[in-house]
A and B are shown apart, each in its own frame.
Chain A
Amino acid sequence: MNQTVEQVNQVIQQRYKAGFYTDIESDRVRAGLDEEIIAMISAKKEEPSWLLEWRLKAFHHWQTMREPNWAHLKVPAIDLQKIHYYAAPKQKNRPKSLDEVDPKLLETFDKLGVPLHERARLAGVAVDAVFDSVSVGTTFQKELKEAGVIFCSFSEAVKEHPELVREYLGSVVPFTDNYFAALNSAVFSDGSFVYIPANTRCPMELSTYFRINARDTGQFERTLIIAEPGSEVSYLEGCTAPMRDENQLHAAVVELVARKKAKIKYSTVQNWYPGDENGKGGIYNFVTKRGDCREDDARISWTQVETGSAITWKYPSCILRGDRSAGEFYSVALTHNHQQADTGTKMIHLGKDTTSKIISKGISAGHSNNSYRGLVRIAKRAENARNYTQCDSLLIGKTCGAHTFPYIESANSTAKVEHEATTSRIGEDQLFYCRARGLDEEDAVAMIVDGFCKEVFKELPMEFAVEAKALLEISLEGAVG
């Protein structure tokens, strides 16, 4: 048995294929966090004064806050004064189209499997590519514009659609929400902006690819998606970073607003550098993601596949404000070596007949720790609210941990809340059964894990389900015995 565990642990040693570094000249602000730095970021982005004021308010509020310590994580002290809060590849002029973008950047995204140029770009998927603190380009903008859809970088949205940004920024995640959200609000650099007009079904998948490249920087992106009444959109984000011995901080804020009968599907394939097999290096991923079903019959669905990061602290949540609105959370979180993940969701039922569904699959291997943390809150006026939670953990080996922290707060007696949880180990019997049929150990582990995640993978858009599956397989790939 011990031998099997040993072999499986070897199988699961990750090979991180996105770990390269792009040698490109970078325009970077000095290290440190203060009002001057914030003003510099705002100036570089040529922002209006109201936005600078908002940033500074957030900063002042942040100064009164402390890092959260309630998660099941061991977080080493992070020296926020040593971080460069803005780094962007040097470009002579702002490129007007993708043809003018530095070939080195295009090549980087090519290598990551996200080609941006016209010939090779993914059919039916519009991509916004963010490199360190700036967006380098967005594909299919013209086609989307014809449908009335706005998909651009956050910086561009501030310039072109200030009234929308001003109305919605911070309306789902106020800067007072938590320590990392406040920090993000003060120093955020770029991210994506999506606006879907009323009664419009977005004609293609939208996606943002986040790449951290520069050393000693952090990435603080901000994404805002607004779905007007009767509209529908499917959005996906992916992310990677070079392999480095130092840790890097990533603290994003994502806000979704779904109005009457609108549908937003938000999928994440998170593959930040997880650190090496001894736990050195890797991204600290502290992210606040929240969706607001602001009006009746709105629907927000989160799907995440989390394989990267040294530390993950992330709870994509839904506020079910409108009557009959629905929230969903589908998650696969894989940790190995010394990775730590504390992830889950919050479903806040405010409206009548609201429903939520939570499917969480945690896979732990090596010396990693994987926690599910979920809150289901039913407000007093949320008549007939329903929640179903299923939370499964799969352990590989004996040195990893899986933990489940479900919180249920119900103030309405008509609520129905169901919770199911299982924990299992990849069975020696399952492995042997597969091998006795001719599959080698590596394929057997990949197959068992893939089967365990099936319910979540089927929620991903097709192209990305294939990618997520491959990513999990790469994460499980390695030299067997």
Chain B
Amino acid sequence: MLKINNLKVAVNGKEILKGLDLNVGPGELHAIMGPNGSGKSTLGYALAGRDGYEMTDGSVEFDGQDLSELEPEERAAAGLFLAFQYPVEIPGVNNAYFLRAALNAQRKARGEEEVDSMTFLKTVRESIKTLKMDEALLKRAVNEGFSGGEKKRNEIVQMAVLQPKLAILDETDSGLDIDALKLVAEGINGLRDGKRSFVVITHYQRLLDYLTPDRVHVLSDGRIVESGGQELSQRLEAEGYAFLEETAA
């Protein structure tokens, strides 16, 4: 599904990702952990195609396509979804309207028919319910005045409606209380169908307890320095990132 080879990414001329390799197969869920500033969000932005995140070396293949060729909206239409670490507010733009416009833009790009408002509303309402969100949030402006937790859950609602092939979730669990965390995990698990893949960026074992990742990777200073199974995240939780330096030394 996602094949990243020796990826180097520079932001403002500064190299942040320094030769990153990652392979995520169909249906797999991979976790990426790592200290602040190690380049996790940079990876998400680079994959989603943000301006100024320049791929200087290496290759990224997504669902058989060379990602570097595609504009951000083309990547979205191809089935790539990034849940933002800091979801953006768009004042005055109705949340449901935004999501429907996004869905229909993607469908149009894929040559599919637009969804009618009834079908759309049904889908959104279901995910809103799963995440125990207030339906009133649909009528509010995109993320405007949402609490931190509401913003994060709103990202999951978007993911559920847009039905991507690969979702990258950037610290979606940060700032959530334990109940909200469970709901988000349920939302993610509900979308695991054996085909859809996930890259979950997190600092906490807590979320992974609910998600049971296929692989856990540690990102440090722009490279994957360690990969393993669930036990790796447990060790990180217990010992922190300090042991990385020990192994390096």
Residue numbers of A with Cβ under 8 A of B are 1, 3-4, 427-430, 432-441, 443, 447-448, 450-455
Contacts and interface: CB of A to CB of B under 8 A. Distances in A.
Interface in B59-78: 71-73, 75-77
B51 A4 contact: yes
A315 B92 CA distance: 25
A40 B82 CA distance: 70
A451 B90 contact: yes
Contacts of B162: 437-438
B82 A451 contact: no
Contacts, number: 83
B233 interface: no
A388 to B, nearest CB: 18
B76 A435 contact: yes
Interface in B68-118: 71-73, 75-77, 81-82, 84, 87-93, 98-99, 101-103, 105-106, 109
Contacts of A432: 48, 50-51, 72, 88
A456 to B, nearest CB: 10
B73 A440 contact: yes
Would you list the 4 A-B pairs with minimal beta carbon distance, nearest first? A451-B92, A451-B93, A454-B92, A438-B106
A447 B105 contact: no
Nearest to A435: B72
Contacts of A437: 76, 98-99, 102, 105, 158, 162
Interface of B: 48-52, 71-73, 75-77, 81-82, 84, 87-93, 98-99, 101-103, 105-106, 109, 141-142, 158, 162
Contact of A438 (B50, B77, B142): B77
A452 B91 contact: yes
A473 to B, nearest CB: 13
A433 B50 CA distance: 9
Contacts of B106: 438
Contacts of A448: 90, 93
A439 B105 contact: yes
A454 B93 CA distance: 8
A436 B90 contact: no
Given A1-B51, A1-B52, A439 B73 contact: yes
Contacts of B84: 433, 436
Nearest to A451: B92
B185 to A, nearest CB: 23
Name, among A443, A447, A453, the residue most crowded by chain B CB atoms within 10 Å (CB to CB). A447
A427 B91 CA distance: 12
Name, among A3, A4, A438, A443, the residue most crowded by chain B CB atoms within 10 Å (CB to CB). A438
Name, among A3, A439, A443, the residue most crowded by chain B CB atoms within 10 Å (CB to CB). A439
A211 B102 CA distance: 38
B91 A451 contact: yes
Contacts of A438: 73, 76-77, 102-103, 105-106, 109, 162
Contacts of A4: 51
Contacts of A427: 88
Contact of B101 (A429, A447, A454): A447
B51 A3 contact: yes
Contacts of B49: 435-436
B92 A455 contact: yes
Contacts of A452: 91-92
B141 to A, nearest CB: 7
A438 B82 CA distance: 11
Nearest to B75: A436
Given A437-B105, A438-B109, A454-B92, 7 more contacts: A436-B48, A436-B82, A437-B158, A438-B73, A438-B106, A439-B102, A443-B105
A435 B73 contact: yes
7 contacts: A432-B50, A437-B102, A437-B158, A437-B162, A447-B93, A451-B91, A453-B92
A447 B158 CA distance: 17
Name, among A427, A430, A437, A439, the residue most crowded by chain B CB atoms within 10 Å (CB to CB). A437
A434 B76 CA distance: 10
A252 B52 CA distance: 49
A440 B74 CA distance: 9
Given A1-B51, A428-B51, A447-B101, A436 B92 contact: no
Name, among B49, B84, B87, B90, the residue most crowded by chain A CB atoms within 10 Å (CB to CB). B90
B92 A450 contact: yes
